[in-house]
Amino acid sequence: MNDYELNSLAYKEAIKYDKRTYWEYYFSLIRTKHLIVFTFYTSTDYNSIIIKISLFLFAFAIFYIVNALFFNDSTMHKIYEDHGVFNFIYQLPQILYSTIITMVIKTILNLLSLTEKNIIEIKNEKSLTMANNKMKEKKKCLLIKFILFFIFSFLFLLLFWYYISCFCAVYKNTQLYLIEDTAISFGISLIYPFALNLMPGLLRIYSIKNKDKACLYRISKILQLI
């Protein structure tokens, strides 16, 4: 079983099959949730590398557009008061909000475009005949999902390009601010998984080693989705 399959096990199955240490589980979360690691370094999953790269590029575009949407009259006035000097403290709430919004959108996009869950459903069928029937069913669904994903991605990228072009043409002196905000937001999204994924393993490993702790195990599974 790969990382996704092990992390999705029911409690009794996890007690029986999941023999990983805390750090092995921790790094499995990094491989499945860290944007760069998941896109370019995770090779044991059942997701299309083309889809993963497309999601990576689309996520960066979302970072850019969400940060641009947060620029308003008060932001422009603050830039004027600071004589164009980047004020990190003032920009921090905007950066954090845009990071959270972008990661929520990215999570939804992952659910709509990634194939691992569908492949595992086929893999878990009890017979070859059932697996073949499931494969034909899933193949049609995935084909439709991929077509819709690329159509909507292309349309949204065109919309993002138009808005960013207009924004940068009107607010020429704000372009550097926008790039800095986007870079910081993107950087935060690459750093926070290392801290956020420390907690689930503590609950999971403890609940597996000490039986009858199913409640803690369920909490760890909820935390690993964040």
Domain of 81, in residue numbers: 3-223
| pLDDT for the residue 199 | 92
pLDDT range class, residue 6, cuts 50, 70, 90? very high
* Mean pLDDT of the residues in the chain: 87
The dihedral built from the CA positions of residue 165, 168, 171 and 174, taken in this order, carries a sign that is positive
Note the pLDDT of residue 125: 86
Q: pLDDT per residue over 87-134, tens digit each?
A: 778 778 888 888 888 888 888 888 888 888 888 888 888 888 888 888
Q: What is the mean pLDDT of residues 148-164?
A: 91
Would you state the pLDDT for residue 204? 93
198-209 helix and 214-223 helix, angle to the nearest 10 degrees: 160
Picking from 52, 51, 26, 29, the residue whose alpha carbon sits closest to that of residue 40 is: 52
pLDDT band, very low/low/confident/very high, at 17 (cuts 50, 70, 90) = very high
Evaluate whether 226 touches 32 at the Cβ level (below 8 Å).
no
Count the domains in the chain. Answer: 1
User: Using one digit for the tens of pLDDT, what is the confidence trace for 44-101?
Assistant: 889 989 999 999 999 889 988 988 888 877 777 777 777 777 777 877 888 888 888 8
Report d(CA 38, CA 29) in Å as an integer.
10
Q: pTM of the predicted model, to two decimals?
A: 0.84
Tens digits of residue pLDDT in 186-211: 998 899 899 999 999 999 999 998 88
